[in-house]
Chain A
Amino acid sequence: MDITHLSSFTAFILSSLGLAFHRTHLVSALLCLEGIILAMYLALATQPIQNQSASLALTPIFMLTFSACEASTGLAILVASTRTHGSDHLHNLNALQC
């Protein structure tokens, strides 16, 4: 595996593990989510260059758009939970618990 693949792959795995194993704060999960998106963006952007296929060249732009939406949604949830509970601790997100 060449170096670009390895680095994107490693970044992705580390960020997803970080998303899975975050402990206290929601903001660290959101940061890891951004890391995932970043890794995917880099992979998507370098792949057309290496394979000399220009047809997929527009895909990273789509991804950026959707990631912007999702990041803003995550931040909105963060702000909402901070406003209601005073902090972004994860054990506050139990609204669906019966």
Chain B
Amino acid sequence: MDLPLTLNSMMLLTLAISIAPTILPLMSETMKNSPTSITQAVKTSFFMSLIPMTLFLYSGMECISSHWEWKLNTNFKIPLSLKLDQYSLTFFPIALLITWSILQFATWYMTSEPHITKFFSHLLIFLIAMLTLTVANNMFLLFMGWEGVGIMSFLLIGWWHGRAEANTAALQAILYNRIGDIGLILCMAWLASTTNTWELQLPDQTSLIPLLGLILAATGKSAQFGLHPWLPAAMEGPTPVSALLHSSTMVVAGIFLLIRTHPMFHNNQTALTLCLCLGALSTMFAATCALTQNDIKKIIAFSTSSQLGLMMVTIGLNLPQLAFLHISTHAFFKAMLFLCSGSIIHSLNGEQDIRKMGGLQKTLPTTTSCLTIGSLALMGTPFLAGFYSKDTIIESLNTSYLNTWALLLTLLATSFTATYSLRMILLVQTNFTRTPPASPINENNPLITSPLTRLAAGSITVGLLITSFTPPTKTPPMTMPALTKTTAIIISILGIIMALELSKMTQSFIKPKQTPLLNFSSTLGYFNPLMHRLTPTYLLHNGQKVASHLIDLYWYKKIGPEGLAALQAETSKITTTLHSGMIKTYLTSFALSTLIMIMSTH
């Protein structure tokens, strides 16, 4: 059997099956899309993508295939080339499985939506863009996928476009992503001008400029600190959108870019340290903000932001494979957490505030069990999926030569992760119910339970599966003191104990006391009002002062008409004092002075 041919053909078939529902309705009037047809297409695509992954796992074969070339009349070649390597071949089944589960869930979640087919087509186009980004071998195709996911994110966040907050959130997402795109374009320009190619076979020693551009791109797309506010605001979109885009696939695009361009990074210590510190700051900030959130979707959003910071920290440690492992495992349990929250929200007739939920363990058993499994996987419970990636990251952090501050922040954020996850679980599931009595609580639909159980099985087993089949390219640290080895689990347990202690204090409905720390955490670090209100107001005021008031209304007028008029008025005032109207005296003095001049020259 010709292995490269099989690999390539199966991969192309996977892509073709997932693209088919977008093209076939255009070709004939009888082939109309429907939610179930799109779900079936993605399901078939998933099963198809298992074949290339199996081929890779058993033969270790990667390949780069070039299909077409955009023939510009210059020296610069832009082929349509696909890179089927470890990362793309492993990501395809994971992304397709998660998308299939989410689409199945969305068939139930969005039943009362009149434009449900359009919603599914949007999700499908997003998936295609994400897969393009993953499988691209050159920056051009990657940029197309990058922009594609950005646009679909905008359309999907603002799905309920009658709602002003949704429109604002979509606009926010686009603006912050655009600032990151500047970095990506900078890197592409540098690559085009220096190496004359956009292929991802990158040089080793480069200047800092393209690396800074790539870090900026990752900051924008993956919501690192500085360009982060769009991710919590993106929860205005429907829950399937949050589950697909803003937890598993789109937000990891920035980290994926850094993984793909890793050959440029691994020799540049400045860039790596920048990634490390930025990631540590992001993870700490997001974990702090998640502690005081009361909206279940926002808690999970900040949790995503925190885990993205952790992925950035891993990149900063020069471990791209571990970052990819964390991407894969995180996708499973984060998508599951979002689907659980969607089930809870619909069951409580639109209630998203965890202070008004409680006691759901008995009424929504499957959902709450999956919520618990997902939270445990997030916390890094031993031998669930999150453990294999998160624990290894913490171990590598502890045994590397790096910035202590980054290490401390990451450890603190890990314990906060345990704290807010446990807070969410306790407030949602346990104790007496705080919901109104007549809630349509029902999870008997297989459209809810089968995606959840599928993703739960994934959350439990995927870590072990991927680590068993992918040999690491860098030797992981094997020997370390016992305290270092158990750091992650100890600080998570400390976080859990803290959460349990604090939960015993909050048995009554009194208003929380306002302290500076509480204010900092619940207003998301004052970042949003500062950046969105204060800075633009200041800039626009100054702009108006200089451009309009100073230049237009003052200087141009003084240089032009008014200044000239003032000059004329001054001059005429001076000259009128010289006029006295005595003509005879003037003429006499004229004659006299002429006579004197003539006399003096003789």
Contacts and interface: CB of A to CB of B under 8 A. Distances in A.
A17 B583 contact: no
Nearest to B588: A20
Contacts of A20: 587-588, 590-591
B594 to A, nearest CB: 8
Contact of B588 (A21, A95, A97, A98): A21
Interface string A67-80: 00000000000000
**Interface majority SS on A: helix, strand, loop or mixed?**
loop
Contacts, number: 31
Contacts of A98: 576-577, 579
B29 to A, nearest CB: 90
Give the interface size bracket for A toward B. Answer: 10 to 19
A93 B577 CA distance: 16
Contacts of B590: 20
Nearest to B579: A96
B194 interface: no
Given A96-B576, A98-B576, A21 B591 contact: yes
Contact of B591 (A17, A90, A97): A17
A17 B590 CA distance: 10
A85 interface: no
Nearest to B573: A98
Interface string A16-36: 110111110000010000000
A94 B581 contact: yes
Interface string A54-78: 0000000000000000000000000
A89 B582 CA distance: 12
B504 interface: no
Nearest to B577: A98
Interface in A1-43: 16-17, 19-23, 29
A17 B584 CA distance: 12
B580 interface: yes
B342 to A, nearest CB: 90
Contacts of B583: 90, 93
A97 B580 contact: yes
A19 B587 contact: yes
A82 to B, nearest CB: 16
Interface of B: 576-577, 579-584, 587-588, 590-591
18 contacts: A19-B587, A20-B588, A20-B590, A20-B591, A21-B591, A22-B584, A22-B587, A29-B587, A90-B583, A90-B584, A93-B581, A93-B583, A94-B580, A96-B576, A97-B579, A97-B581, A98-B577, A98-B579
Given A16-B591, A29-B587, 18 more contacts: A17-B591, A20-B588, A21-B587, A21-B588, A21-B591, A22-B584, A22-B587, A23-B584, A90-B583, A93-B581, A93-B583, A95-B581, A96-B576, A96-B579, A97-B581, A98-B576, A98-B577, A98-B579
Which 10 pairs, one residue from A and one from B, show the smallest C-beta to C-beta distance? A94-B581, A20-B591, A97-B581, A96-B579, A20-B587, A98-B576, A97-B580, A90-B583, A93-B583, A96-B581
